[in-house]
Structure 1
Amino acid sequence: MKRVRNNLFNKLFRPKALKEYKAWKEKAIAIIGWNKQLNEDLTRAKTLQDLINVHKHAWQIGYNSPNIAPCPWGMFRCDSIPVLTLDTLYLGDIWGLWTNNGRFWEEHKHETMANNGFGIKEDELVYDIIVQQYRQHLRSNLNAISKNMAEDLLK
């Protein structure tokens, strides 16, 4: 039987193509794994410091975006994410809460939203609202970054 050199099977399974496919597959698996792990870490995080640690880890492994990057007027008022602290993390401006740094929110951890006028339960802790704000900000941006990474792989 005569061997056909340029048939579809040979094109798909040439060593170079296989090597490229394996590299692509490894990147895709890594992105899926990172995204899953980061989402689990975000769910487990109970404090602002826990969330800062997740943020730093995500930044370190390549989850970089202007939305979660340092900015002198934004949420992360530091020179770089690896040096982000409670003093340079600014949250608030939600449900009538003023913007303050993470240290302020840690100190007011046990205050409630009493008489808030927003329909929030009066026994709801302010700290829980702030932690949820940061968690949701990170989760939505990290998921978007994962999606963009996956789309870039498909190009």
Structure 2
Amino acid sequence: MEIINGHYVPENIEENGIATGQTKWTEKQTDINVALELILDGLNDVYDVALLLSADTDQVATARVFSQSLHPKGKMLVGVAPPDRSAPSGYSKYGVKSVSLTQQDIERCVINDRLTLNGVPVLRPTEYDPPKNWMHPDDRPRGKPPRPPKKGSWSKPIRS
């Protein structure tokens, strides 16, 4: 797997057409890099089904090219929207199905801290640890996600 980085450029912040003297960093090229790699990988037969995780309407152009060049070759594209977002409505025009992830979907994918692979214990890297006191959705009462505390943390402490 190759990681292709986009880049960030500084932009001046203006209010009512007047420069504030502040700058913000704006991402550039990520959407086009994703689109190009998705199309090229499809042409190179790297996948049969591609999942495009984005709510960016610019990716409707990707869906258009995909439907013209890869769908006839048996490839399938599924638009996946991040939590609290929806996939671009333009996908349906090109026959792209879409689904929306929830926070609970993502939390269900957290790797256990200890796994066994062919009888050998494997430890989850510490950089993949969830926040302290986080509880897997399957271990929560009635499988419901807890309400986050007022301070904005994404889970409540585990009760002993």
TM bucket normalised to smaller: under 0.3
Question: For the pair shown, which has the larger CA radius of gyration, 1 or 2?
Answer: 1
User: Higher relative contact order by CA 8 Å / sep ≥ 6: 1 or 2?
Assistant: 1
Question: What is the TM-score when the length of structure 2 is the normalising length?
Answer: 0.24
TM-score, normalised relative to structure 1: 0.25
Task: Kindly indicate which of the two structures has a greater share of residues assigned to helix.
Answer: 1
